[in-house]
Amino acid sequence: MATSSRFERYLERARPKIEAALERLLPSASREPKTLHRAMRYSVFAGGKRLRPALCLLACESISGRSAPALPAAAALEMIHTFSLIHDDLPGMDDDDLRRGRPTNHKVFGEGMAILAGDGLLSLAFETLSRSRNLRRGSNPCALLETVCMATGPEGMIGGQAMDLLFEGRKVPLRSVYAMHRRKTGALLHGSLRLGAQIGGASAAELRAFQAFGERIGLAFQIGDDLLNVRSTRKELGKATGSDRARGKATVPGRVGPERAEREAARILHEAAAIAPRLGHRSEEFVSMTEFLLHRTH
Amino acid sequence: MATSSRFERYLERARPKIEAALERLLPSASREPKTLHRAMRYSVFAGGKRLRPALCLLACESISGRSAPALPAAAALEMIHTFSLIHDDLPGMDDDDLRRGRPTNHKVFGEGMAILAGDGLLSLAFETLSRSRNLRRGSNPCALLETVCMATGPEGMIGGQAMDLLFEGRKVPLRSVYAMHRRKTGALLHGSLRLGAQIGGASAAELRAFQAFGERIGLAFQIGDDLLNVRSTRKELGKATGSDRARGKATVPGRVGPERAEREAARILHEAAAIAPRLGHRSEEFVSMTEFLLHRTH
């Protein structure tokens, strides 16, 4: 994988800003209940790529020339992403012991505290969004909150996780696998772009372009993730591999084989790259992002 | 227990409006993912008293003469309350099999789906608040959302649940038990009153009175709940009894004995009744509420 693409350089530049915002917004581990705050921080500061917040900042910057107004919203998106990982790893869900090379939240803090750490992060994300002065100044702060809620809730990520659970061990049609991915991974990735663009003041036409682009990169991202699960070693991935197949998870590679899944991702990313020029001043980063995701599927 | 107090008559009148709003706002069980929506509806329509939404409506009506503008917010509060019950009953938390005389959510739908049903209700609550036209028209919709987030998050209910879990089996000082109750039960009850009052357009002085009243009824309510857990039979309560003691839960009756706990609740409710006249035009319902909670502790 190329280590110096435009998109990766953007990720590198955005990361310290996102880390600082998260550090500022998360409750201190020295305040009560300390264990809850420690559990929340453990998973938030576990070395994530910060992809969703970076996409939010990039979309805002691409439209308005500035990323700073989107920073609290970006941090809120990472809290929501982390909440979903903590709950996804629970014994009642995917039952994973390892995430990013470290024991999962419930392995360290126990199941009850992991459930509450996830709940706490989801609630704190909405609190952060309600408190952000930049959202308050905007003409319609509720529209921004609605974007995040729809990306997160039963019509978005949480609905997708339920489908994922319900599809386990069943041979569902390929279009259902796509419908599940669109919600489970696509909704929050696409919501991150949309939220940033909205904060930047994007036009309706620009928001439609972000939607079309976001839906495609969401799908390609998930296919890439599933290919990594098939192909990588545990050490490379920092978590269990081959687990999707063992659990009878519905995935595109599982349904059509890795080669066709790879071609499918390439086709989708080609479409996304064609949309990128309509995404404002930083369209080159978005083109570079499609290349980054393409490399990821090889 | 008297069945015809002013407050109980208000609860009776409010209930059908709240049920109708919840019916309208929850995703239909005929839409995908059906099992998630069925799980969410199972616990929302399990015969709850609708105390929190009724308090929200009553506070709004007491200030403004109308309860209708607070109806979506009231429904959102019940979603948040139900989310907390579903997660609280999980094997990793209190591990309860029975709630309101019926099997708990995870007993019917499995642990994974119960976690997601709770997550979905919390997210849908915030979506409902962001979408409410009455909030959008208000001068500061974000302040209302912030009220709900603070009542729910690590500084409110979720923080209180974490303390409850951390205190299990430990002999914590009485003031820590009170601090836990203030968050675990008090924050959302108090937040419900505050939210309704805010939507009704309460003054800063009125909001302070609602805060002082809400904090007291929250504490008295939790002491009443813990006394019921000690004294009732399983059949009366519709869930396991004596379980707090078996689990080494930190409760006021457990720390000072049921008699002193009852006197303590009476003292707190006496203070609350003295504040009630400052709560707008429907103060008689609020006085009646303190009497209702007093009966509950006998």
CB proximity A154 to B under 8 Å:
yes
| Nearest neighbour of B146 by CB, restricted to A106, A131, A163 | A131
The pTM of this model reads 0.95
Which band of pLDDT confidence, cut at 50, 70 and 90, is reported for residue B141?
Answer: confident
**Is A1 a domain residue?**
no
CA distance B63 to chain A (A): 24
Give A247's pLDDT tier (boundaries 50, 70, 90).
Answer: confident
The residue segments making up the domain with residue B96 are 6-296
- Whether B173 is in a domain gets the answer yes
- Residue A280 pLDDT > 70, yes or no? yes
Cβ contacts from A onto B, under 8 A: 165
For residue B298, pLDDT beyond 90: no
Give the minimum alpha-carbon distance from B257 to chain A in angstroms, rounded to a whole number. 26
Can you tell me the distance from the alpha carbon of A186 to that of A263, in angstroms, rounded to the nearest whole number? 19
Residue B237: per-residue pLDDT: 64
Chain segment B210-263, per-residue pLDDT in tens: 999 999 999 999 999 999 888 876 666 666 667 787 788 889 999 999 999 999
- Helix (DSSP H) and strand (DSSP E) numbers for chain A: 17, 2
Which of these, B69, B71, B61, lies nearest to B15 by C-alpha position?
A: B71
Q: Is residue A202 part of a domain?
A: yes
Q: Is A238 on the interface with B (CB under 8 A)?
A: no
Structural domains in chain B (count)? 1
Outline where DSSP puts E strands in chain A: 98-99, 102-103
Q: For residue A91, name the pLDDT band (cuts at 50, 70, 90).
A: very high
Euclidean distance between CA atoms B251 and B226, whole angstroms: 7
pLDDT 10s digits, B142-159 = 888 889 999 999 999 999
**Nearest residue to B273 (alpha-carbon basis) of B3, B6, B1, B2:** B6
Residue B73 above 90 pLDDT?
A: yes
Residue A24: is it exposed, middle or buried by C-beta count within 10 angstroms (0-12/13-18/19+)?
Answer: exposed
Chain A CB contacts of B179 under 8 Å are 32
Write out the two tokens for A4: 């110096």
Say yes or no for a CB contact (<8 Å) between A35 and B124: no
Q: Distance (Å) from the C-alpha of residue B216 to the closest C-alpha of chain A? A: 22
- Per-residue model confidence (pLDDT) at position B232: 74
Nearest to A149 among B115, B123, B163 (CB): B123
Mean pLDDT of A232-251: 74
Q: Is the confidence at residue A57, as pLDDT, over 50? A: yes
Residues 105-134 of A with CB under 8 A from B: 106, 110-116, 118-120, 122-124, 126-127, 129-131
- CATH number of the domain at A214, please: 1.10.600.10
B215: in domain: yes
Q: Say if B1 falls within a structural domain.
A: no
Residue A4: pLDDT band (50, 70, 90) is confident
In this prediction, what percent of chain B has a pLDDT beyond 90? 81
Q: Is the ipTM of this complex over 0.90?
A: yes
pLDDT of residue B244: 81
Q: What is the pLDDT of residue B248?
A: 85
Q: Give the mean pLDDT of A119-136.
A: 87
Write down the H helix ranges in chain B. Answer: 6-25, 34-44, 51-64, 71-89, 105-109, 111-131, 133-137, 141-152, 157-167, 174-181, 187-200, 204-231, 234-237, 243-247, 252-256, 258-275, 283-296
pLDDT in tens, B111-123: 999 999 999 999 9
Q: What is the pLDDT of residue A2?
A: 47
Q: Which of A227, A264, A219 is nearest to A245 (CA)?
A: A227
Q: What is the pLDDT of residue B247?
A: 81
| Residue B2: per-residue pLDDT | 47
